[in-house]
Amino acid sequence: MKTPQFILRATAGALALVLALSARGQGFPERPIRIVSPFAAGSSTDVIARIIGQKLQENTGQPVIVDTRPGANGTIAVDAVAKSPPDGYTIVLASNGTHGIAVSMFSKLPYDPVRDFDPIMHVGRVSYVLLVSATGPHASLKDLVAAAKANPGKLSISYAASVAQLTGELFKATAAIQMTSVPYKTPVNAFTDVAGGQVDAHFEPLPSGLPMIKAGRLKGLAVTSATRSALSPDIPTIAESGYAGFESGAWIAFFAPAGTPKDRLAKLHAEILRAMQNTEVRERLAQVGMEPATSTPEELRDMVAREIAKWARVYKEANLPQQN
């Protein structure tokens, strides 16, 4: 039979444990947080990670380090995060490329975008823009499509990320044209080749493509969003250029390694939400072409599942080979 003293000691011990866990959650973060950006420095994801990271640093009082790790359509960095300690101090700003398209693209994807991650928050969508040389022969989307139809397979279209690749495949199927796809590891070399006429066209996230347009090196023929971007209202949509219903683009969201303590996930969600509700942050994100958004972790988990199914259909219809 347990004595009253035993029960009292057990109760006191349980209370101490609860208080300790609560204190742990309240103290987080107690050291620098690392946001892994899976794409190149200067890419839209990288720029957005730095905008949000700066506000997180101001709000939490802890350094927030943006760790840029491009390669393999973002999957190298995402896999590294999946295998990081699930302590809340390493998170990734991933995309529907790494958490949707990659499932169909790679035969041996080293991570599972659902099983290996705890969703935190969806933070926005980014439109893509179809770029051509500013001094080239294509003044409009109609001109590019006409040239492609007159020369099947001879014109080229490049990409530097999986979402751009699949957007290109969707565009070719919609316009009923044949163009040779040219992959690049980073957009910088693609910009140079398109500007010089070695490549005919390129799909790029609007935030990273717009500076090239403003510099006069490239021309934006159309954006992939359903409506024109407030950032570039003079560039028409693909839909209004003769292809009704066309819509594509990227979404980006924060994820943590699976198994991250729930109190820390809740704290990360709260702090990211706080940053996203800041007027200055929203204005800066809009200036670089992102449509800000927020979500619950559950809504983001459902979004990932839908994205995997959506891009699997596009990938299959394009009859693309899987990569190892």
% pLDDT > 70, the chain: 92
Query: Which amino acid belongs to residue 297?
Result: P
Give the mean pLDDT of the chain. Answer: 91
Instruction: Evaluate whether residue 21 is within a structural domain.
Output: no
Q: What is the CATH number of the domain that holds 197?
A: 3.40.190.10
- C-alpha span between 155 and 147 (Å, rounded): 8
Query: How far is Cα 89 from Cα 179, in angstroms, rounded to an integer?
Result: 44
Q: Is 44 domain-assigned?
A: yes
Boundaries of domain holding 44:
32-125+250-317
159 and 220, same domain (yes or no):
yes
Q: Last residue of a domain, which of 215, 241, 267?
A: 241
Q: Are residues 170 and 310 in the same domain?
A: no
Percentage with pLDDT > 90 across the chain: 75
Q: Based on the fold, state whether residues 132 and 206 are members of the same structural domain.
A: yes
Q: Per the domain annotation, does 12 fall within a domain?
A: no
* Inside any domain, residue 23: no
Going by C-alpha positions, the residue among 46, 29, 148 that lies closest to residue 92 is 46
- In the prediction, which pLDDT does 22 show? 39
Total domains, the chain: 2
Distance CA 293, CA 290 (A): 9
pLDDT of residue 323: 86
Residues 284 and 183 in one domain: no
Single-letter amino acid code for the residue at 227: T
Regarding whether 160 and 84 lie in a shared domain, the answer is no
| 309 or 12, which is more confident | 309
Boundary (domain end) residue, out of 241, 265, 287: 241
Which pLDDT value is given to residue 26? 64
CA proximity to 116, closest of 82, 90, 78: 82
- Do 265 and 121 belong to one domain? yes
Stated as kind and residue range, the H or E segment containing 280 is helix 279-287
Where is the domain boundary, 224, 241, 258?
241
Nearest in space to 238 (alpha carbons), one of 162, 140, 322:
140
Closest of 115, 117, 114 to residue 88, by C-alpha: 117
Q: In this model, does residue 132 exceed pLDDT 90?
A: yes
pTM: 0.75
* Secondary structure E strands in 64-177: 64-68, 90-95, 117-126, 128-133, 156-159
